[in-house]
Amino acid sequence: MNDLYESILIVGGQGMLGHALTDLLVSRGRRPVVVDLPQIDISDPSAVKKLFADRRPTLVLNCAAHTKVDLCEQEKEKADAVNGYAVGLLAGSCKSSNAVLVHISTDFVFDGRGRRPYLPSDPVNPLSAYGRSKLLGERELQKNAPARWLIVRTAWLYGRHGLNFPRTMVQVGQAGKTLTVVNDQVGSPTYTVDLGGAILDLLDSGASGLWHATNSGQTTWFDFATAVLEEFGVKAEISPISSAEWAQKRPTSAIRPGYSVLDLTALERRIGRSMRPWRAALADFRAAVQRDGF
């Protein structure tokens, strides 16, 4: 067995991506240890120190995050603690124990004013408390960097476990309510199974550093919602709305980037394959949830 996978620790393992990574690793014959709240608070230095002493990981996959983007505007300190400084704690412990760290970041580190897919090297300028906290996490990791680390930025994530955009669209549509969805934000919906596969492929390739990983292609939230309803056979009224109109209706909501498509060139070259289109991934998601129950 590759020494890298001798002792795998998935932090935030009860979330969407944590579940997907666990399933993928188990399918490869690995036995990851999964931890999450309330078992571990990664913003507590003593808890992180004890976790590493007890588990002695060789690989840490950090999927933990305060991901409620709008709530982060009211909970900035909590967002910075979990998404920012806690990443530095994990990085420092990985450095001390010679473990590899993979940390998941976001397209929200960009301001969305570009009109071509963002390269990992492009300048960052987050617009929201969530985006700023995630950028803080990236910087805290690099400040306390272990010998090998990966930051993997992704976008518009959904999966079989937990709340997510497709699940909400289906449930609201099935309830007979009218859907109103933003039509001027462009990005790449990303299925947790495909992101997890890309992360493991990066690790297997010996990669380190900063990477972008999503499904390929791009769409708007409105068109994504329309595709979800079509995929699940849900008949519902759906109407587009602009970001400006949404902000008037929800003045406390966070500002999202208008364009946050991530460039996959470096990733696809490194792992030796293309990421599949988001629409094909959505069909697999539908098949999975219909098989396992919504």
179-234 per-position pLDDT tens digit: 999 999 999 999 999 999 999 999 999 999 999 999 999 999 999 999 999 999 99
- Tell me how far CA of residue 225 lies from CA of 93, 108, 164, 236, 281, in angstroms: 41, 20, 12, 11, 14
DSSP lists the bridge partners of residue 238 as 179
First and final C-alpha spacing in the chain: 36
Distance of alpha carbon 279 from alpha carbon 285, whole angstroms: 10
Q: Find all residues with CB under 8 Å of 98, minimum gap 6, and list them.
A: 58, 146, 147
- Tell me how far CA of residue 291 lies from CA of 16, 38, 163, 167, 232, in angstroms: 17, 30, 18, 15, 13
Q: CATH for 3-163+190-216+262-276?
A: 3.40.50.720
Rounded mean pLDDT of 230-240?
96
Q: Which candidate, 56, 50, 63, places its Cα nearest to that of 17?
A: 63
Which token pair is 70? 């709008």
Predicted confidence band at 294 (pLDDT cuts at 50, 70, 90)?
low
User: Which of 5, 85, 118, 130 is an active site residue?
Assistant: 130
Residues above pLDDT 90, as percent of the chain = 95
pTM above 0.85, yes or no: yes
Contact 174, 1 (CB under 8 A): no
Domain ranges across the chain: 3-163+190-216+262-276
Residue 130 among the catalytic residues: yes
Rounded mean pLDDT of 79-106?
98
Contact 226, 240 (CB under 8 A): no
**pLDDT for residue 217:** 98
Residues above pLDDT 70, as percent of the chain = 99
Contact 155, 106 (CB under 8 A): yes
**pLDDT for residue 1:** 41
DSSP lists the bridge partners of residue 151 as 103, 210
**pLDDT for residue 292:** 81
Which token pair is 260? 């946050």
Distance of alpha carbon 212 from alpha carbon 151, whole angstroms: 8
Q: What is the CA radius of gyration of the chain?
A: 19
**pLDDT for residue 201:** 98
Contact 278, 231 (CB under 8 A): no
Query: Can you tell me which residue has the tokens 């990985």?
Result: 94
**pLDDT for residue 228:** 98
Q: Find all residues with CB under 8 Å of 225, minimum gap 6, and list them.
A: 165, 169, 179, 181, 238
Distance of alpha carbon 160 from alpha carbon 20, whole angstroms: 8
Rounded mean pLDDT of 122-132?
98
Mean confidence (pLDDT) of the chain: 96
Which token pair is 246? 């949404």
Rounded mean pLDDT of 16-21?
97
Which token pair is 167? 């699940």
pLDDT surpassing 70 at residue 145: yes
pLDDT digits (tens, 9 = 90+) for 53-89: 999 999 999 999 999 999 999 999 999 999 999 999 9
DSSP lists the bridge partners of residue 181 as 240
